[in-house]
Each structure stands twice: as C-alpha cells, then as structure tokens.
Structure 1
Amino acid sequence: MVKTVIIPHNVTVYISSQTGLTINILSMRVYGTLQIGSSINSSLTTFTFQYPVNMMIFKGGVLQDLTLHHRWSVSSNTIITIYYGGSFISSQPTTLISNTNNSTATFNSSISGPYTITVDLQGKIQNYSSIKFAPCESGDFGLNSTWLGGLAPTVGRCSPNDGGCNWIIPTNFNITRRNNQSTINGVNVYIYGSFEISSWVHLRYQQALQQRVDAMLVLC
C-alpha cells in the first residue's frame, strides 16, 4: 500500500492505463492537475479504481475526466473531496458506477468546491455541497474502517483555511475517540446516533442535533 500521493502545484499527472488504477493508495492530495485518461492517449473509454480511493482536490487543484465514455467504476469506502478553489472538469457529465451493486450516479461536467462524493460500504453513491465525513462502521473514529476513505476528519484534511468539514454520525451508530487521537476538525456536526466524548461522558441524542463548532473540536 502507498500511503500518500501528492501532485504539487503546476504539475499535471495523467493515468490512462486500460486496467485503471491498480495501486492501493491511502490518500491522493491534488494541488496541480490529475487527468483520468489523457489528451495524448485518447483510447481509454472507461476507468476503474481497483481499490477504495480518498482523493482530495485542494485550492488550485483540478481533477479532469478525459475518458471517451466518461464512466468511472469506483469501490465502496471511496471519498472524493473538492475543497474551496478546487474543481472537477469534463467535456460532458461523468457517471460513477459502484462495483459493489452496479448503482450509478451522474455528476455535472463542471464542479467547484466545496463538494464531496462518497461511496459507502453498501455501494450507495452520494454527493454533498460541502466537505463531508461520515462513518461507514460504528466504532472508534481513529480506525480506518470507521470513516469513508479510511481517514478521519483531522486538521490536515479539514483546515479552517479550506472551510473545515461537516461530519455526520448516522442513526444507530456509536462513535468513540481513540486514546492516541484527541482532536478532530469540524464546522457542522450532525449527531443522529451516539458519540462518546470521554470515558465517563456518553451523549445520546433521540433526535437530530446540529452543533456549531467554531474551530477545533477537542475530545477529552
């Protein structure tokens, strides 16, 4: 597994392999341009992400679809986040296909951040007009299996300079902190289930609660 791939500003990287992206990458941080397909090699019709991908398009970064049919096959536990100043472009709308249940979702040919595309463990594809993190399994928020894409919403991924993150704890989910991880970063926190702030305080909400967090959310 490759932990992190970074595409710097003013650098363009294209992936035009017929087999798609076959490397298991924990996160991709795009500050330059990432092209799926290539203007040089125009024979790629569709693209497959063989593993879950956590792709972050930061300010000035561009994710571009150059495939002929504009169809991407994506794995469960995938998240694509487009931050303020980042963008996605294509010559026509791009369709994402879940390789779990073949469900599809089609997205505009031009998207500006903030924007999030998620694929949960059941293969459902969802989009949000914000930077969003949601647990796909109940448990410790420090565990890879707990958060879509395998990364918790920490400072490096939810900087206030990038607008922070919205995160949601769904109904019937029980999320707790990890001993070696004491902070997460959020703007709006939507709690429908149960969130354990400390070992002796356990908050339960019978109805949806929206909580405004001005800066860092600190867990005891």
Structure 2
Amino acid sequence: MVKTVIIPHNVTVYISSQTGLTINILSMRVYGTLQIGSSINSSLTTFTFQYPVNMMIFKGGVLQDLTLHHRWSVSSNTIITIYYGGSFISSQPTTLISNTNNSTATFNSSISGPYTITVDLQGKIQNYSSIKFAPCESGDFGLNSTWLGGLAPTVGRCSPNDGGCNLIIPTNFNITRRNNQSTINGVNVYIYGSFEISSWVSYFFHLSHAFLRLRW
C-alpha cells in the first residue's frame, strides 16, 4: 500500500494509458491537477478505481475527467472531498458506478468546493455540498479505521480556513472518545446513533451550530 500521493501546485498528473488505478493508495492530496484520461489520448473510455480511495482536492486543485464515456467505477469505503477553492471539471456529467452493487450517481460537469462524495461499505453513493465525515463502523473517534475512507477528521482535514467540516454519526453507530484530548473543528455534528465521551476528558469543540446527543 502507498500511504500518500501528493500532487503539488502547478503540477499536472494524468492517467491515460490504463483503464484503472491498480495501486492501493491510502490518500491522494491534490493541490495541482489530476486528470483521469487525457486530451491527447481519447482511447480511455471508462476508468476503474480497484481499491477504496480517499481523494482530497485542496484550494487551487483540480480533478478533471477526460475519459470518453465519463463513467468511473468506484469501490466501497471511498470518499472524494473537494475543499473550498478546489474543483472538479468535465466536458459533460460524470457517472459513478459502485463496484459493490452497481448503483450509480451522476454528477455535474463542474463542481466547486466545498463538496463531498462518499461510497459507504454497502456501495451506496451520496453527495454533500459541504466537507463531510462519516464513520464506516462503530469505534473510537481518533482511529482512522473508524471513518469512511480510512482517515479520521483531524484538525488539518477540518481546517477552520476551509470552513470546518460536518460530522454525521448514522443510526446504529456508536462513536467513543476516551483518554485523550481532542480538538474538533465541526460546523454541524449530526448524531442519529450515539457519541460517547468520557467525563474525565477535556474537549474543545469549535462549533458555530451543533446538534449533539452525548451519552456519559
């Protein structure tokens, strides 16, 4: 597994000679441009992400679809986050297809951040007009494995400079936070399951508006 791939500002990387990404990459951080397909090679009709991907498009970064048919196959436990100032562009709407259950979702040809696309463990594809984090299983808040895409909502990933992020804990999920201090830059925290915090732990919530149900 490759831990992190970073595309710096003013750098363009394109994938045009193969039909899919066959490398297991934990996270992709795009500050420059990532092109799926190429304007000089139209033979790539569709694209398949063979592993879950956590792709983050930061300010100034661009994710571009240049495939002929504008269809991407994505794995469960995938998250694509477009931060403020980042964008996705295509010549026409792009359709994402879940490798898990063949469900589909079509997205506009031009998307500006903040925006999040998620594919949960059941293959359900959802989109949000915000920076969104959701767990993929019950567990400790600080563990990467608890969260969709394999990365926890740290201060850096929920930076106040990007407007913070929204956290959602779905029904039947139990998220716990114990024995350590945490700063959570959440704008809204939506709890449909449970969020359990130890009474002896100090927390700092940077929230402009929050919906919390805490179980002690």
TM over 0.5: yes
1:19-77 CA-partner distances (Å, limit 9, x unpaired): 41111111111111000011122210000001100001111110000000000000000
Identity value in percent: 100
Distance 1:179 1:23, change over 3 A: farther
Q: How far 1:180 sits from its partner (Å)?
A: 5.9
Indicate if the aligned counterparts of 1:142 and 1:181 stay in contact, CA closer than 8 A: no
Structure 2 equivalent of residue 212 of structure 1? none
Where in structure 2 are there 5+ consecutive unaligned residues?
A: 202-216
1:159-213 CA-partner distances (Å, limit 9, x unpaired): 1001111010111210012656733331111111111111669xxxxxxxxxxxx
Q: How far 1:134 sits from its partner (Å)?
A: 0.6
Instruction: Give secondary structure in 2 for the equivalent of 1:29.
Output: strand
Indicate if the aligned counterparts of 2:19 and 2:46 stay in contact, CA closer than 8 A: no
1:68-110 CA-partner distances (Å, limit 9, x unpaired): 0000000000000101111000000000000000000000000
1:119-163 CA-partner distances (Å, limit 9, x unpaired): 000000000000000111111123333111001111121110011
For the residues of structure 1 that align with 2:135 and 2:153, how far apart are their CA atoms? 10
Indicate if the aligned counterparts of 2:178 and 2:197 stay in contact, CA closer than 8 A: no
Distance 1:145 1:181, change over 3 A: farther
Indicate if the aligned counterparts of 1:152 and 1:184 stay in contact, CA closer than 8 A: no
TM-score, reference length from structure 2 = 0.89
Indicate if the aligned counterparts of 1:153 and 1:186 stay in contact, CA closer than 8 A: no
Number of aligned pairs?
Answer: 201
TM-score, reference length from structure 1 = 0.87
Structure 2 equivalent of residue 74 of structure 1? 74
Indicate if the aligned counterparts of 2:178 and 2:198 stay in contact, CA closer than 8 A: no
For the residues of structure 2 that align with 1:159 and 1:36, how far apart are their CA atoms? 27
Distance 1:181 1:39, change over 3 A: farther
Indicate if the aligned counterparts of 2:130 and 2:166 stay in contact, CA closer than 8 A: yes
For the residues of structure 2 that align with 1:73 and 1:181, how far apart are their CA atoms? 39
Structure 2 equivalent of residue 115 of structure 1? 115
Distance 1:2 1:181, change over 3 A: farther
Structure 2 equivalent of residue 174 of structure 1? 174
Q: Compare 60-69 and 39-48 and name the one that shifted more.
A: 39-48
Please show how residues 87-166 of structure 1 align to structure 2 within 5 Å: 87-166=87-166
Where in structure 1 are there 5+ consecutive unaligned residues?
A: 202-220
For the residues of structure 2 that align with 1:66 and 1:178, how far apart are their CA atoms? 46
Instruction: Give secondary structure in 2 for the equivalent of 1:14.
Output: strand
For the residues of structure 2 that align with 1:79 and 1:47, how far apart are their CA atoms? 16
Structure 2 equivalent of residue 4 of structure 1? 4
Instruction: Give secondary structure in 1 for the equivalent of 2:149.
Output: helix
Indicate if the aligned counterparts of 1:59 and 1:85 stay in contact, CA closer than 8 A: yes
For the residues of structure 1 that align with 2:80 and 2:181, how far apart are their CA atoms? 23
